Chain A
Amino acid sequence: MTTTEASPQSLREALHRVGYIADEALATTLWLAGSLQRPLLVEGDAGVGKTALAQALAKAEGRRLVRLQCFEGLDLSQAAYEWNYGRQLLAIRRAESGASTADDAALFSQDFLLQRPLLQAIVSDEPCVLLIDEIDRADEAFEAFLLEVLADWQITVPELGTLRARQVPRAVLTSNGTRELSDALRRRCLYHWLDYPTLAREIAIVRATLPQAEGLLVEQAVAFVQRLRREDLGKTPGVAESLDFVRALHQLGHQRLPDEPAALAHVLACLLKTREDLFQFGVDGPGVRLLQVLEGRKAGGDGVAVKHATPLP
């Protein structure tokens, strides 16, 4: 059942119901994108929930999700459409042997067209969500091609003519900002910068995803991850990492966040993904920094100091 929400508030609630906790600004932008029929460009660090947003939107509105994962060298034949040459050849052979008739018009009809994600989204009879993931990985040439699709919701196939969207899809583009996107593309989209969630929002996200985990554990673990994000890390943990972290602690039977760095040693692999970060905070390394983050103190001495009865090792 496809529904289009009547107001940003109801969209926000619908997203909440499918487990995506959006703040008010994001819900407003998302609703507006639907209302103005404009694509939405979401930028932000890896792991803040850009892709999950499109998936949740599809779920909340009961639409089909069509996903195009971008990569370097992505071309039209992989993104939009391609002729099914094998079938065309077979049809020609069959015509040669007299089993059937084949003319040019029949060979270049919809039957011989392989639909790739963009075309699928355009010709889909039911409304869908089109997710164009990591657009910054695709080449500039592909970006230019997207302009026609995103501005006019149509794709031109030279042999067939222009195919227009039957239902305008809800398009969500995501980017990690590794390459500057062209102004032309940016101007066709609404824009939202997705930041790491606040403490309260992240707790709500973890609770919605892992309702079985203990409340105290969730609060303490998320507060720990939030403190860790303020440290100088090579790869800052995202929401997905927080979820993994809490899930791991829960499955290991913890009711609350362990006080001892040693108890965290193996679970930290859920959060820290580079060797340098693991060395900096892991128990094999200096070890002191991890204790500081656990206790909520800032490295270097400034910031809020929490007195601890036992001296540091």
Chain B
Amino acid sequence: MNTAPLPTAQPLAALAGFAAHLREHGFVVGVAEQQAMVRAALALPGALQQPARLGEAWRSIACHGARDWRRWPDLFQRYWQPHRSTGSMRVSGQTRPPRDIRQLVQQLHDSLGEGGTKPGATAADTALTDSPAEGDALNRHQGGASRTEALHDRSLHEWLPQDLALLQQWAERIAARLRRRLTRRWHAHPQGRRLDLRHTLRRSLATGGVPVAPAWHQPRRERPRLFILVDVSRSMETHAQLFLRIARAFVVAAQARVFVFHTRLAEVTPLLQRDSGAVQEKVNAVTAGFAGGTRIATSLADFHRVHARAQLGRRAQVWVLSDGFDADEPQRLAEELAAVRGRGARITWFHPSPAVPASAAMAAARPQVQRFVRLASLRDLATAADLID
């Protein structure tokens, strides 16, 4: 491995701020990634003249999947060129000088040339000195990604720790109940019920053709891949909190992928993966600020064509948590659900109302849904546990 000495000074603080910014948005960027980013900035010829090229190089280091890949351009611009980002973000009142990636690269080169900046030396660029170190990065307004507004605590004071433990327990019970589907494939298993003749013969070569250690295999059973789509539109405001909590429990218990939608669809699995005090804030941030209509059919189309394209198959289960009020044309919902079913996935619809949703869209779509389950409280989840397989 290349172990060039790394400069230690202000530019690294700016980079650490960027890493913290990425981590806040669900990226896995640790020390190793930051070191690689510094090396890339130093090694890449012409990084100073073409910051965009450096951005591409960092993209390949910081992104670990297609999801990260899609979100990168926006996050990169928000941090390094916040003045260019236009959006609905409220300005927090804090003023900060613009960060400049060229100056960062120049400083990295300079500090490397000097053999590292001396402690206490001040950097020429105030924007970089101003950049947050990792510790206080969370408390600051981060280049446009305002969190403060969305973090007001809402309604869930009544969630006691024992409720959460109970929820997790039920989620695990349901996850365990999800029927493991038999596949055509066999896999090696020490207690398998059939002799794996090919492997046994192959192994016996090591012992002169005597099958001393027979190999066994058994049919592979796989758990369904779980996709949870949570409606967070205005009409679902009161229920979205509960639904996201439940979805989080399944992310932990069954490695589910969770999406939220109102008029658009977005994946929130990375936000829900880690269990920390911040989960509540994240759940609030996701649900707050959404208003207006629901476009279930459009969101479903985006779901099966883009986000889950490769993973939606016979083993997939799609849970939609919604009241079924759709602003798209009524027949489209049935078409999109049929497309999801066409891939072999099973669809379960969870609704908060006592009766099965009866909007025009839902009436047409009913044959496509395997099961309707009421879900308005934790107790319903316990009942649902017996219905789901």
Which A positions have Cβ atoms within 8 angstroms of B?
Answer: 6-9, 24-25, 28-29, 31-33, 35-38, 40, 43, 45, 72-73, 77, 83, 85-86, 89, 139, 176-179, 183, 186-187, 190-193, 232
Contacts and interface: CB of A to CB of B under 8 A. Distances in A.
Given A177-B310, A191-B63, A193-B69, A86 B205 contact: yes
Of A24, A139, A190, A192, chain B has the most CB atoms within 10 Å of the CB of A190
7 contacts: A35-B39, A38-B36, A40-B60, A85-B206, A183-B64, A187-B33, A191-B60
Of B28, B59, B187, chain A has the most CB atoms within 10 Å of the CB of B59
* Secondary structure dominating the interface of B: helix
Contacts of B61: 32, 190-191
A83 B208 CA distance: 13
B45 A7 contact: yes
A176 B310 CA distance: 8
A191 B36 contact: no
A159 to B, nearest CB: 12
Interface in B30-60: 30, 32-33, 36, 39-40, 43-46, 53, 56-57, 59-60
B101 to A, nearest CB: 15
Contacts, number: 89
Nearest to B63: A191
A179 B36 CA distance: 27
A28 B69 contact: no
A270 B110 CA distance: 55
B65 A186 contact: yes
Contacts of B188: 73
Interface in B61-118: 61, 63-66, 68-70
B66 A43 contact: yes
A36 B36 contact: yes
B1 interface: yes
Nearest to A10: B45
A36 B40 contact: yes
Interface of B: 1-2, 28, 30, 32-33, 36, 39-40, 43-46, 53, 56-57, 59-61, 63-66, 68-70, 185, 187-188, 202, 205-206, 208, 305, 309-311
B238 to A, nearest CB: 33
Given A85-B206, A183-B64, A186-B65, 17 more contacts: A25-B56, A28-B56, A29-B57, A31-B44, A32-B43, A32-B44, A33-B60, A35-B2, A36-B36, A37-B2, A43-B66, A83-B206, A85-B205, A186-B28, A187-B64, A190-B61, A191-B68
Contact of B187 (A32, A37, A73): A73
A190 to B, nearest CB: 4
A37 B57 contact: no
Of B56, B59, B66, B305, chain A has the most CB atoms within 10 Å of the CB of B56
B319 to A, nearest CB: 18
A183 B53 contact: no
A36 B43 contact: yes
A7 B43 CA distance: 9
Nearest to B72: A193
B2 A36 contact: yes
Contacts of B2: 35-37
Given A7-B45, A89-B208, A28 B185 contact: no
B40 A7 contact: no
Contacts of A89: 208
A190 B32 CA distance: 12
B243 to A, nearest CB: 23
A8 B44 CA distance: 8
Of B45, B60, B205, B311, chain A has the most CB atoms within 10 Å of the CB of B60
B1 A35 contact: no
Contacts of A73: 185, 187-188
A192 B64 contact: no
B65 A191 contact: yes
Contacts of A191: 59-61, 63-65, 68-69
